[in-house]
Copies of this chain bind each other. A is one copy, B any other.
Amino acid sequence: MKPNIQHVAELAQVSKATVSRVLNDNPQVKGEIKERVLRAIEELNYRPSSIARNLATNRTNTIGLILPDITNPYFPVLARGIEDAAHRLGYTLFISNTDNDPKLEQDIIYKMVEQQVGGIVLISSTLDEKTVNDLTSLRTPIVLCDRLIENRPFDAVSIDNYRAAQEAVRYLIGQGHTRIAHLAGPKNIQSAVSRRAGYVDTMLAANLEPFVSVGTFSYESGVHQMGDLIDEYGPTAIFAANDLMALGAMHEIYRRGMRVPEDISIFGCDDIAFCAMSRPMMSTISIPAYQIGVTAVQLLDDKMKGVRSGSKNVILEHKLIHRESCNGVDRK
């Protein structure tokens, strides 16, 4: 039979309360007694039940992570940042994928709340006005990643996607490109929308005509959209809303017997690991995914400990990474 606190108490000839005190490092337990309890615990190979403890204290040491798809190479490093930070703070982490399905996402949030998670890190783009309001009444602290939200009691951490796109486009313009197309992400994903806006505005400001093709953030959509782009527009450079599509675009370019960057330059976004493994290596915007994760958990921890109320949007710095996939038109 699995030992409980009562068994330990009996073996050590003390009360349950005392056992509980040593379990919680309460300093007012006398050394000798503490020894006895510790020995009993050892002898019985006793492990306290955190379920029971949670029920008694009405707190759990768990947090939940809800994300679209761990299989998308951008997320594992974010998730790792979250896990590491959570672990460091003594939390264990629930994880669940949503595939960007709003209904599923809701269900998972509620399920995690039922599990009494202390807080939730939510990576979502499908949140509509109504859902957000429901969440507000939830009492469980939530922090959003990669999506800012105004006037809501949620913390959020992300980068400035608009400015990131702006820098990417300026970089391409600086190289002499004028026919720069944009491989955009889904219209319902906020980061994709911001990047697109940054692209369009920057093109316009430079008196260049924007040309956008919208994809799904997947590699396959990158190859497919790229084919269309070549047929319909003939760009000399592409700014893709994420690296996966950029990689797909590159693939299609080579498949058609052209080269990167000699014929077409490609610029991505995210800086997933493969960017440095592809040939040519992909120039891109580096997003501090790991740090976003760590920051999210810190914000959550503050909220859970009641250190801070109100909401806070933190914007982390991105970085333009110059590698091999872009080249000036003049050098052709």
Contacts and interface: CB of A to CB of B under 8 A. Distances in A.
Interface of A: 2, 45, 47-52, 54-55, 60, 62, 65, 69-71, 73, 75-77, 79-80, 83-84, 87, 92-97, 110-116, 137, 139, 219, 247-248, 251, 254, 273-274, 277-279
Given A2-B139, A49-B116, A95 B97 contact: no
Contacts of A278: 277-279
Nearest to A64: B92
A207 B279 CA distance: 36
Contacts of A110: 47
Given A70-B76, A93-B96, A96-B93, A50 B219 contact: no
- The residue among A51, A54, A111 with the most chain B CB atoms within 10 A of its own CB is A51
A80 B73 contact: no
A94 B92 contact: yes
Nearest to A59: B51
A50 B97 CA distance: 21
A116 B70 contact: no
B70 A70 contact: yes
6 contacts: A51-B51, A51-B60, A55-B55, A80-B97, A83-B97, A84-B97
A279 B249 CA distance: 13
A75 B137 CA distance: 36
A248 B115 CA distance: 43
A71 B60 contact: no
Contacts of A84: 97
A134 to B, nearest CB: 9
Given A93-B95, A111-B92, A70 B60 contact: no
A288 to B, nearest CB: 14
Given A95-B93, A277-B278, A69 B60 contact: no
Contacts of A113: 47
A255 to B, nearest CB: 9
Contact of A77 (B71, B77, B139): B71
A43 B113 CA distance: 18
A51 B279 CA distance: 51
A80 B71 contact: yes
A92 B83 contact: no
Given A92-B112, A115-B50, A115-B92, A83 B70 contact: yes
A252 to B, nearest CB: 11
Nearest to A247: B277
Given A69-B80, A71-B76, A93-B96, 4 more contacts: A51-B60, A75-B76, A83-B97, A254-B279
A264 to B, nearest CB: 15
Contacts of A52: 55
Nearest 6 interchain pairs by C-beta: A95-B95, A70-B76, A71-B76, A51-B116, A51-B54, A50-B114
A273 B47 CA distance: 41
A55 B47 contact: no
Given A77-B71, A112-B92, A115-B92, A137 B45 contact: yes
A205 to B, nearest CB: 34
